[in-house]
Structure 1
């Protein structure tokens, strides 16, 4: 934990995270030539990790997992931010089908998309940490949550539930249909002299990314079926196809075919569904079994974010200009500034 004189200088310390990143976001990571060695970036210290994750440490677990998955695709985040701006003028605009499902799902949280796009250095730093130090990242989050609970910064309310399960603090949305994004200065989680205050929330609640009524639900099938979880038992993050089913009722909403009953997400081409005709029992979401959701996601090994992250970031390092290191600016931005 960051204590003592490490961050005691009043607002004047700049913590530089030195790591190897791709010098250009001109393209998504591509496979490097066989035999090219990629240097593993130097691990971040416990203090650096806490600073890095402070801005999302008190987010609901599902959103932490989703952001972790999205951090692997910085170019797509920039494109997504531009898409959201253009979507205001062209409501019929659809997300790119080539985007990762996590990015499409994050479209339902425009403030988070903008924060990650505006601060790409932080986004890339998180992606690197997820690739090479995922367990350390989650431990840092737990340490900050311990601090937040001890200082009465966060507790259960009508928007989020905060519970202790074993040694871990689990944060979940109080309502499976809706996620509220917490608003707080992350500095108060790690700066010793920062006066703690209870968290606040942004006024606009966001639909959960697995919620069929989400704003961009019909945008692309990958976004519709994407789910993300943090597995605190095994210190891992999972994200991808959750393979669940749900009772759906619609009249001629899919190629003039009626759907009435429980269907598998993967059995429907959601891109061609007329969402205006879609009906479903909202009580299903209230009763959503998160344990079953977690098991379904973990059943597919391809949903392991650590494996995906390691491969993507290794290729990014290989394709970088000479594998050189670049300096990242201070990531201790206030969430108020970032969002």
Structure 2
């Protein structure tokens, strides 16, 4: 018998021995499963600063509240695909309802069909953003701020009648000028990273989108979750928050708005059964809408530690079976690197 044959026999015997230990000793078996689980959730190779800027370029100039929803929804790529198909069917059947199993962030994104389509069509980008939020959340937000600094300096974006661009603690905050609707900027993200690309001011999608926490929104998240799903970016602590709204101080005027019972008067927004309400018959005055201010939302949802998107992301990644990815690999990473085009270090000068 050759040396190689002996090695094979020895390896086979060792395999049988370990298998016997695994079945006879549950603790050892559990440790082996835990080790295998740990390997499956190995964090992906980090994106560099340049790669990260390319990744976030397409959303960097969006209002903060929308960035918070997009980053949260990126953790659920399969639900994004389902949502895109749902919206196609909804065009023919307005009676369709979102799945109750969908995350509140995905339901909220139904109010922005163009964004749902973008995320579904470019699933590798969505998956990569989800990985980045799970493992490099601060880097994601820093990259967004760096691109915003440049865009403001070059006059690409500024306060107008649709959005507000303000500086808060050295960070650029972009928010909707209205508590009822959001105008989403349109711009070529390539101008941030392709050499010689001519800078141009932002435009907007032609129609405003309903503010995702506004009860008049077509797919208000409360219709599924039973409570307001809200999201906010905390630039000071480099975190994204999203989840259940805490607070019972917003009342709405229900003008016989319930389909299953007679009621006329004021009712707390958290007590509404959104499955049985006609949202066209409810009203919220502007003083009440001010309570949806982003600082207010952030303070309310931060009271619940479960609303930290970073923690939620890591939990999801532990059970992620979307594409049976190889350990340590990030979907779409190569595409992100390829598209940098050696940019970001050779950006064009401002066009005057």
Assess if the C-alpha contact under 8 Å between 1:226 and 1:241 holds in 2.
yes
Cα distance change of structure 1 residues 183 and 224 upon mapping to structure 2, 3 Å threshold: farther
1:258 and 2:263 matched: yes
Select the residue among 220, 224, 229 that pairs with 1:221. 224
SS of corresponding position for 2:263: strand
Select the residue among 274, 283, 290 that pairs with 1:279. 283
Deviations 1:258-304 (A, max 9, x none): 25235142x22211112233233245325643322210011111110
Higher relative contact order (CA 8 A, sep 6+): 1
Deviations 1:103-149 (A, max 9, x none): 00000000000000000000000000000000000000000000101
Distance in 2 separating the partners of 1:223 and 1:124? 28
Cα distance change of structure 1 residues 321 and 281 upon mapping to structure 2, 3 Å threshold: closer
Distance in 1 separating the partners of 2:331 and 2:251? 50
Structure 1: 4+ residue segments shifted above 6 A = none
Select the residue among 60, 63, 76 that pairs with 1:57. 60
Q: Provide the alpha-carbon RMSD of the alignment.
A: 2.3
1:316 and 2:320 matched: yes
Corresponding residue number in structure 2 for 1:88 = 91
1:67 and 2:75 matched: no
Assess if the C-alpha contact under 8 Å between 2:222 and 2:229 holds in 1.
no
Distance in 2 separating the partners of 1:139 and 1:191? 20
The structure that has the greater radius of gyration is 2
SS of corresponding position for 2:175: strand
Assess if the C-alpha contact under 8 Å between 1:177 and 1:286 holds in 2.
no
Cα distance change of structure 1 residues 131 and 155 upon mapping to structure 2, 3 Å threshold: same
1:303 and 2:307 matched: yes
- Stretches of structure 1 that go unaligned for 5 or more consecutive residues are 1-31, 334-339
The structure with the greater share of residues assigned to helix is: 2
Assess if the C-alpha contact under 8 Å between 1:161 and 1:172 holds in 2.
yes
Deviations 1:211-270 (A, max 9, x none): 0000123873328611110001110000011224422122333332425235142x2221
Assess if the C-alpha contact under 8 Å between 1:158 and 1:174 holds in 2.
yes
Corresponding residue number in structure 2 for 1:294 = 298
Distance in 2 separating the partners of 1:223 and 1:111? 25
- The 5-angstrom pairing of residues 123-162 of structure 1 reads 123-162=126-165
Q: TM-score, normalised by structure 2?
A: 0.80
The structure with the greater share of residues assigned to strand is: 1
Select the residue among 177, 180, 189 that pairs with 2:192. 189
Q: Per-residue deviation at 1:34?
A: 3.8
Q: TM-score, normalised by structure 1?
A: 0.83
Cα distance change of structure 1 residues 33 and 232 upon mapping to structure 2, 3 Å threshold: same
Assess if the C-alpha contact under 8 Å between 2:250 and 2:288 holds in 1.
yes
Cα distance change of structure 1 residues 168 and 321 upon mapping to structure 2, 3 Å threshold: closer
Distance in 1 separating the partners of 2:214 and 2:125? 28
Corresponding residue number in structure 2 for 1:330 = 335
Assess if the C-alpha contact under 8 Å between 2:241 and 2:308 holds in 1.
yes
Corresponding residue number in structure 1 for 2:168 = 165
Assess if the C-alpha contact under 8 Å between 1:212 and 1:224 holds in 2.
no
